[in-house]
Structure 1
């Protein structure tokens, strides 16, 4: 299975910044060390044309030129720099490259991405460009898929993704998220499953099973983009849910089994994760990649 990374994912930030940027380096190192069945590939930078599939040209230009206002930078959560602009392009490029790989073998991953708070004309919540939205439009433009499921299991609702596809019946947005968590004013996904603070493994997994069953009744995807957030973990600083690591593994297996039963390509993006120690977040992301790798090799009929 191929997984896409870039050293650009690790953006230098001001001292004391709360975003756990080091998780990307640590995840890449753990995958390289402990998952020989995964081929690590350098992520390309998304082009203006690719970004424009889901973003307004004026927003792309603002990021490229560094003409963000102080207010826009505060809402985004990152100070502008050339490194930030490059990181944002590479994050989208990784997901697009993963789509190309998944088309051949069914599963692939970006070791970043899941930037689901970015709207067509603005960014917020540490999300500059929406890699999931760009990828959905890109696979459609390549005629690899007609109907795309954006399956968002980050603890925060994918408000940007929901907004971008609010009038697009060819893309179905499904979000299971913390009801009282950010964003505090929610967008309207095609299916929203808000969960109470403290939701644990049993209720979460039964809700996910019901959500996937409901989707199968109303939408027939031929591609899945999966935001596999680690921030549903009981030890996450920002999550407010209470899933165990074993519960999160069961979540991922349920998603992959659902895709496998339907023969659907599945592209995995990391989404959020804010646990301390950071190694807990890295382990959860790694666990997702490991489970996807197992499904990948089962699909192609060999084990490495």
Structure 2
């Protein structure tokens, strides 16, 4: 049975002007349950991640600021959210959800977190709506359990996973692959192990051709025992910030290709949702729900 991490804290209210990014976290599980793609038995609610696990990745002075609510106004602006105890708890729960998904993925081939993909968080600061880097924390947790593990992070959000790239730049156990808009946020890119920067206006066929060229070769080269997949839907042509031209069908084909490649190579994968900023929330929800539908079909 495919397991899915979700807790109501994922969609906790924020002050006016900051709520839009959170709406989808209630709507996605509701839609999936309504249509019968998932059942309530597949959902699990994570506990907050423990400090000692977070500190495998993040610096203690930064973690203490999150817990003690002492981020400076400048640090809060860089993150994009005003600090609050609820926001910190949310991030800790999301991070543990990604960790828990790893254990479920090893049993079932795939597990999905309805939130997560907070790839702009660095060891000592957050930015771009990201406080803690959930996939990095989960990867380091896996490596603590098995130092011989080889991990592949497949980041297909439209924004480069700059925090993830920086966190693992000197770690040969984790290979970071980011396929993103070359002229999109973050404007200063870090160096992933493999970066594919896309021109503004890149269409679905071009995008999928590049993915088909690179991902199988990458799997053959890295030979990972575990993968993380950040399935952002801000690659859509309807996205307010994405600058790419993929259709919902293209996005679904992307997910299907990733899942088929990992499954046929017996690589378990934990999936996190990442970004999506289309003006019509229904489009965001539909595109994210497709990731779950495809996972159900493939696995």
* Length-normalised TM-score, structure 1: 0.94
Corresponding position of 2:129:
126
CA distance in 1, matches of 2:148, 2:139: 9
Q: Is the 8 A contact 1:108 1:267 kept in 2?
A: yes
**Pairing of 1:145-294 with structure 2 (within 5 A):** 146-294=149-297
Shift of 1:144: 8.8
Corresponding position of 2:9:
8
Change (3 A) 1:169 1:2: same
CA distance in 1, matches of 2:84, 2:105: 32
Corresponding position of 1:301:
none
Does residue 52 of structure 2 align to residue 49 of structure 1?
A: yes
Question: Which digits, 9 at most, give the CA deviation of each residue in 1:175-234, with x for residues without a partner?
Answer: 000010000010000000000111111110011112213313431101010000010011
Bigger mean CA deviation after superposition, 17-26 or 196-205: 17-26
Structure 2 residues without counterparts, runs of 5 or longer: none
Corresponding position of 2:70:
67
* Length-normalised TM-score, structure 2: 0.96
Structure 1 residues without counterparts, runs of 5 or longer: 297-304
What is the alpha-carbon root mean square deviation over aligned residues? 1.3
**Partner of 1:20: helix, strand, or coil?**
helix
Q: Which runs of 4+ in 1 moved over 4 A?
A: none
**Partner of 1:251: helix, strand, or coil?**
helix
CA distance in 1, matches of 2:123, 2:38: 36
What is the aligned residue count?
296
**Pairing of 1:109-124 with structure 2 (within 5 A):** 109-124=112-127
Shift of 1:40: 1.2
Bigger mean CA deviation after superposition, 181-190 or 275-284: 275-284
**Partner of 1:212: helix, strand, or coil?**
helix
Corresponding position of 1:30:
31
Q: Is the 8 A contact 2:181 2:198 kept in 1?
A: yes
